[in-house]
Amino acid sequence: MTPSPQVQRRPKAYPPPEFPPRKPKLFAKMPPAIFPVVLGVLGLGLALREAAVVLALPGGLVEAALGAALGFWAFATVALLCKIARRPSVLLDDLRVLPGRAGMAACSLSAMLAAAVLVPYAPGVAYGVMVVALVAHGLLAALVIWQIARSPRAQRVVTPVWHLSFVGGIVAAVPALALGRAELAQVLMWGALPIAALIWGASLAQMIGRIPPAPLRPLLALHLFPAAVFSLVASGLGQGILAQSFAAFGGVILLALLLGLRWVTAAGFSALWGSFAFPLVAYAAALIGLGGQVQQIGMGLLAAAVVVVLGVAWKVVAMWPTGKLAAKTNAAEA
């Protein structure tokens, strides 16, 4: 028998590369993953402002740094708004991936901290920014819930990013207290507390049965953020026992992170290291607010946070103009 002739298949055709290569429009690939760093830098400035008051130091240098941080926030926010204005559906695209979801939530939270920065200079503007940030955060949370409900059951996994999306409104209590809106701060705290407790419990149950992959482990630092802010807000409301309780709980989380630091950072540096920034400075600020000997621990932690936050911010921001940050975090293009 003669062998059957072999059919030669034509190689798959690929479109020729564009020449000259297409350049994306300005801010079209703005990566939301920059905002956890923005949030951390603003939080660091506010913690340093608090420390300067406690130590009775002149605040000129700190206020200048806060002004620079405010400019950084404004530039990043305008860039993101330009991207969304060019193609509004890009917001949903960014919310589909974990770095984008974390970044979008951190964007509205950073606006809340920007309001806190503005309180001593323009309380009316600060109040307006706080309200807009709260509304935006609520809309983002609703979109995240909608996307989770539409996703396959296997993807409906509780992640630490849920703290940013569903508990993050508590951050608005910081400018609310500075503006004398204690009732609003109290509502925000008691509204966020049960949600945070559910996320903590579900996350612990998940970790018992499934170890998070190495690239996502830096997100575990976000579990510290609600405890730190709850302690900070409770101190501002004069609820000392509650503030101390959350500070103690936060201390347990921080100790666990420090003991497992090599495991948490096993995948090496990535944009997700921005998750370390705000929880660390918020916890330092919470300890400073408690006073006494704990205050000294908070000062030491804040000194360490300056190095950590600025170091991480420098490396993440350096990835932004080159396009690496957008590529590595799967930022959508408008």
Contact 80, 30 (CB under 8 A): yes
Distance from C-alpha of 13 to C-alpha of 102, rounded to nearest angstrom: 39
Q: What percent of the chain lies above the pLDDT cut of 90?
A: 84
Mean pLDDT of 144-173: 91
As a whole number of angstroms, the distance between CA 259 and CA 269 comes to: 18
Is residue 209 scored above 60 in pLDDT?
Answer: yes
* Statement: residue 154 has pLDDT above 80: no
8 A C-beta contact, residue 273 and residue 287? no
Q: State the pLDDT confidence band at 1, using cuts at 50, 70 and 90.
A: low
Q: How confident is the model at residue 133 (pLDDT cuts 50, 70, 90)?
A: very high
- Residue 274: pLDDT band (50, 70, 90) is very high
Please name the residue that has the structure tokens 């509650």: 242
Q: How would residue 16 be classed by pLDDT, with cut points 50, 70 and 90?
A: low
Predicted TM-score of the model (pTM): 0.90
Contact 250, 286 (CB under 8 A): yes
Is the separation of the CB atoms in 176 and 229 below 8 Å? no
**Domain 32-314 class in CATH:** mainly alpha
Closest by alpha carbon to 51, among 287, 313, 255?
287
Quote the CA–CA distance of 169 and 137 in Å, as a whole number.
Answer: 7
Rounded CA gap, 310 and 289, in Å?
22
- Mean pLDDT confidence for 254-281: 96
Share of the chain above pLDDT 70, in %: 93
- Exposure string for 285-306, b = 16+ CB within 10 A, e = fewer: bbbbbbeeebeebbbebbeebe
- Average model confidence (pLDDT) across the chain: 93
* CA 326 to the chain's CA centroid: 16
Predicted pLDDT at 27: 87
Cα–Cα dist 327/236, whole Å: 41
Please say whether the beta carbons of 283 and 301 come within 8 A. yes
pLDDT confidence of residue 15: 65
Average pLDDT (26-50) is 95
Sequence ranges of the domains in the chain: 32-314
Q: Are 175 and 130 in contact (CB under 8 A)?
A: yes
